[in-house]
Amino acid sequence: MHELRPQSAREASLWDAAATVPDPEIPVISIADLGILRGARFDGEQPVITITPTYSGCPAMETISTDVKKAVVAAGFSSPVIDLVLTPAWTTDWITEAGKKALEDYGIAPPQRRETASGPIPISLSAPVKCPRCGSRNTKELSHFGSTSCKALYSCRDCQEPFDYFKVH
């Protein structure tokens, strides 16, 4: 993921305030580490925070917008505007390494890619996904959809634990 945090101190401070907001569905990861937070700027004196949903029908966006406004106001910025942007579409490539680690520590297998001669490619859902609990690749998909649409439900054949896998998209 390329760095999106603004360089100017004022805009960086705005970004930092918004970046404290956790994802409401996965509270161990911030919207910045999940890649939902895409920008922080000022239109004159008006703070504008740009966010992109993980998918266009994401039910958490209203909560995220409200939480971002509260965090930004608490940091001393008045009357923030939330700019919900659908293009470019969110991708799991925007999840930071810290975010992937937070997902795994929480028990959600982060999106996985396989290195090939032509570059990284997504691991298909039929390929073994690493269990976030024991590290085994002796896993199987139970359902194409997990607790949210962006995750699939897996089970580990070694530790016998079910887990969500954050699908590559």
**88 and 13 inside one domain:** yes
| Cβ-based burial of 44 (10 A; exposed 0-12, middle 13-18, buried ≥19) | exposed
- Contact criterion met (CB below 8 Å) for 82 and 68: yes
Domain contains 18: yes
**135 and 162 inside one domain:** yes
Residue 79 sits at the vertex; the CA angle it makes with 38 and 1, to the nearest 5 degrees, is 10
Residue finishing a domain among 92, 124, 151 = 92
Domain contains 143: yes
Per-residue pLDDT 10s for the chain (169 aa) are: 346 899 999 999 999 999 999 999 999 999 999 999 999 999 999 999 999 998 888 889 999 999 999 999 999 999 999 999 999 999 999 999 999 999 999 999 999 865 556 655 555 545 689 999 999 999 999 998 888 888 899 999 999 999 999 988 7
User: What domain range is 14 assigned to?
Assistant: 9-92
**124 and 87 inside one domain:** no
Domain contains 127: yes
Residue finishing a domain among 33, 68, 92 = 92
**124 and 72 inside one domain:** no
**128 and 159 inside one domain:** yes
Residue finishing a domain among 63, 92, 121 = 92
Res 112: pLDDT: 84
Res 146: pLDDT: 84
Q: Which residues, including other chains, have CB under 8 Å from residue 140's CB and lie 6 or more apart?
A: 154, 155, 157
**31 and 85 inside one domain:** yes
| Total domains present in the chain | 2
Domain contains 1: no
**83 and 22 inside one domain:** yes
**20 and 86 inside one domain:** yes
Res 122: pLDDT: 57
Domain contains 2: no
**112 and 157 inside one domain:** yes
Residue 40 sits in a domain of what CATH number?
A: 3.30.300.130
Which among 166, 125, 131, 127 has a CA at the least distance from the CA of 146? 166
